[in-house]
Amino acid sequence: MSVFNYLSQPVPRNNRPVQTILLYITVVGLILAIFEPFQYRLSNFVQFEVLIGFLVVLVITLSIFFFLLPKIFTKFYASQEWTIGKNYLHYSILLLTSGILTFIYDYFLLGKHSLNECFNQDFFYILRWDMFAAITIGIIPTIIELFITQNRVLKQNLTEAKNLNQLLSGRNKASLKNAQSDEILLTGDTKESISLLPNEILYIESSGNYVDICYINHTEKHKIIRSTIKQMEEKLHLYNTLVRCHRAYIINIDHIINIEGNAQGYRLTLKDCLQEIPVSRTYMKELKEVLSYPKNLG
C-alpha cells in the first residue's frame, strides 16, 4: 500500500508542449553534436542530415505524447487527476517509443533494409543500441523538463498561497458570531451519531466506509461513524463554511489559520489542530471563491 499511495500522490502535469519539444530537440541536438556518443560522428554534411532526421523523429514522438494522446485520452491526462504513477508511465512509454521510432529510422531508412531482413542478427543488434541510445540520451531532457515543471508549479502555488492567506487575513470573522445556534445531527448507516454546532467542526476525513469527524470542545476530539464523505457533504451543503477541499476531506474554513503551497498543491493549518489538511486541485477554485466571498452560515 505504501508504494500505491506514493504513486497516487498528485504531481503537476506538463501543459506547455511547445516549450517541451523545443527543450528536447535543443538538448538532444547539442548532446549529439558536441559529445558525439554511440559512435555517431558529425563529420560531414551527410551526418548533419542524419542528425536532422533523428530530431524529426523526436519531434514526431513528442507531438504524439504531448499533443495527440492528451486529446484522445482526456480523462487519463486530466491535470486534476495527474499523479506520480501516471507521470512515470507517460515518460517511460515516451522514451520506449522514441527508441522504437529511432530504430525504424536507423534500420529501414538509413540502413535501407527491407522487411524481409527483419529479425536477423543485425536487426536485434541495431535495435538494442538504438533503444539504449534513445533512452540514455532522452532521459536527460526528461529530467530537466520535470525539474522545470516542478519549479514553475511550485512558484505558482507559493504565489497563490500568499494570495489566499491575504484573503484569509481579511476574511470577516463575524460569521462565527452570527452562526446559527442550531446543532447539526450527523448520522451514519448505524445508530452512531453526533450533534454539533457548525463552528465546532474542524474537519471531516473519509476513511473507507467510515468518516472521522474532528471537532473542538475545549480540546480536539474525534467521532467515527459509518458513512461516506459524499453523504456528509450532502448533509452540510447549507453551511457554506464547511467546504469540500479534497476527495477525502471537508474543512471548516473559519478555523484555517494558514495556507501553504508546494509543487503538489496546498495544505491547510487549522487552529487547535495538529493535522495539516491537503487541498486537491479539483476543489481549489471552490475554496478560493468561498474565502473571497464569505457569507453567514445557513
Domain co-membership, 162 together with 176: no
Number of residues assigned to the chain? 298
Residue 114 shares a structural domain with residue 184: no
Q: What is the pLDDT of residue 297?
A: 40
Q: What domain range includes position 233?
A: 172-292
Looking at the fold, whether 61 and 186 belong to one and the same domain comes out as no
How far apart CA 232 and CA 117 sit, in angstroms, is: 65
DSSP annotation string for 240-268: TTEEEEETTEEEEGGGEEEEEEETTEEEE
What is residue 298's predicted lDDT score, i.e. its pLDDT? 42
- φ and ψ of 266, to 5 deg: -135, 155
* Domain co-membership, 140 together with 48: yes
In this structure, the answer to whether residues 131 and 208 fall within a common structural domain is: no
Answer whether residue 178 is part of any domain. Answer: yes
Query: What is the per-residue pLDDT across 63-118, written as a single tens digit (0 to 9) for each?
Result: 999 999 999 999 999 988 899 999 999 999 999 999 999 999 999 999 888 888 88
Domain count, the chain: 2
The pLDDT value given to residue 71:
95
Q: Do 257 and 132 fall within a single domain?
A: no
What's the pTM value of the predicted model, to 2 decimals? Answer: 0.80
Identify whether residues 220 and 130 lie together within a single domain: no
Q: Based on the domain organization, do 155 and 176 belong to the same domain?
A: no
For position 257, which CATH number holds? 2.40.50.1020
**What pLDDT is attached to residue 127?**
94
| Pick from 111, 71, 83: nearest CA to 10 | 83
Q: Do 114 and 231 share a domain, yes or no?
A: no
The verdict on 102 and 221 lying in the same domain is no
Residues of the chain with pLDDT under 50: 174, 176-178, 295-298
